[in-house]
Amino acid sequence: MISAINNKGLLRFMMYESTMTAGVLLKFMKRLIKDADRKLFAGHFESAPCNFGAAMARKR
């Protein structure tokens, strides 16, 4: 499960069956962006087993 919470307490989450990959993270972030009416701040990724940096840079 991956989740995010905003400063007003709105919780967003996504369940996934596989391991956390850059693709799963990007899918979740795209869903957040779709519902957002303001800019998003990507904060702390706790216990992330892989490096998302290269995949995130390619998607820009």
Of the candidates 24, 8, 11, which has an alpha carbon nearest to the alpha carbon of residue 56? 24
pTM over 0.75: no
22's tokens: 């850059």
Q: What gap in Å lies between CA 6 and CA 28, rounded to an integer?
A: 15
Tally of structural domains, the chain: 1
Query: Which band of pLDDT confidence, cut at 50, 70 and 90, is reported for residue 49?
Result: low
Distance of CA 25 to the CA centre of its chain: 4
Range of the domain at 47: 2-59
Query: Which band of pLDDT confidence, cut at 50, 70 and 90, is reported for residue 4?
Result: confident
Is residue 2 within 8 Å of residue 28, measured between CB atoms? yes
Q: What gap in Å lies between CA 51 and CA 36, rounded to an integer?
A: 25
